[in-house]
Amino acid sequence: MRELLASLGCGGAFYTLDVTDARSLQNAAVDFIGRFGTPDLVIANAGISVGTSSGLPDDLSTFRKVMDTNVFGIAATFQPFIAPMRERGSGTLAGIASVAGFRGLPGAAAYSASKSAAITCLESMRAELHGSGVSVVTVCPGYVHTPMTEVNRYRMPFIMGADDAAQRIARAVARKRRLAVIPWQMALASCVLRVLPGWLYDRVFARAPRKARGLLQ
């Protein structure tokens, strides 16, 4: 990305950070605002995924890492920019969640829980910032062809290419949609999942294919 922007003659700043390190994010935000002013758009896109088993004690540390990155990472990324955006009276905060946050997927307790929490966290932020001029956008993509999904050994319906997904996400953010589920086919599927009775959901998904346990993606 650095080389691409340089070839296009675009200026900017690059920070290599861990989104679970709030102090580093604060310092980077202060430096950025000092150099360029308050940004119009901040996107929280960092996320990791791995299969987990609720009965294995070794997976507890993995569960915590996923939650810290996928949930705390959003809050820590946005926090330094909220006050400056409110003071200016404009700006957009866009968080990338997932359709996996609408129901608990077997073998993906950590990932589903983290994305569900991310959706709720962003909703809370949106209500807090209502009327301030600052918009909060929640984007819930379905499957996207990336290294994170390449390890999946099961059918992934409505999977999108990375470029296609990026364009759809960009349009949702530009329109400042409160909640955008992409692609539209996955939006329909998620609506069905959310209203499916618990007893039926349990029966149908008990034998659903599961993401392999292993390295974080």
Q: Which residues are catalytic?
A: 111
d(CA 201, CA 176): 32
Which residues make beta-bridge pairs with 51? 213
Q: If DSSP codes are grouped into helix, strand and coil, which group holds residue 31?
A: helix
Q: b vs e for 189-204, b when ≥16 Cβ sit within 10 Å of the residue's Cβ?
A: bbeebeeeeeeeeeee
Give the CA diameter of the chain.
Answer: 57
d(CA 78, CA 4): 26
Radius of gyration of the chain (CA): 18
Q: In the chain, which ranges are continuous DSSP H helix?
A: 2-7, 22-36, 59-67, 73-88, 109-128, 147-150, 162-174, 184-195, 198-205
